[in-house]
Structure 1
Amino acid sequence: MESTHVSALQMKHAGLERQIAEEMSRPSPDQSAIQMLKKRKLRIKEELQFH
């Protein structure tokens, strides 16, 4: 059960990284969206550290 949760978190983290990269590659990136995605990614990273 625990490794499934960690795997799900890792997949979410990778997905957020991809979304951030996509947004940053746009001609005029939405900085507020990037900040929101980065905060979500950080929370997932913190949760992964506790597992």
Structure 2
Amino acid sequence: MRIATEGSVEDLEELKRRLAELKTEHRDLDDVIARLIERAPFDQIQLQRLKKRKLSLKDQMSRLESQILPDIIA
């Protein structure tokens, strides 16, 4: 990934594209976790790893969203 220059339209589009990718992966993980839980017995370690990955994605999404829509100090 190239270094972003502040305010560039291309950079903003890249951030939005990456955010969309992360949201898709996050949603897919929801489905995988739900299917895993439906199967009994399920691998608890695998479930923990999937949930940890999902949380990591959520953190990345939050950071990207804050870059796209920076806080406005009132």
TM-score w.r.t. the length of structure 2 is 0.66
Identity level (%): 31
Superposition misfits of 4+ residues, deviation over 3 angstroms? none
Across the aligned residues of Structure 1 and Structure 2, the Cα RMSD in angstroms comes to: 0.6
Paired residues in the alignment total 51
Corresponding residue number in structure 2 for 1:15:
28
Q: Structure 2: which 5+ runs fail to align? A: 1-13, 65-74
The structure with the greater share of residues assigned to helix is: 1
Instruction: Give the Cα–Cα distance (whole angstroms) in 1 for the partners of residues 43 and 28 of structure 2.
Output: 17
Corresponding residue number in structure 2 for 1:47:
60
Shift in Å at residue 24 of structure 1? 0.1
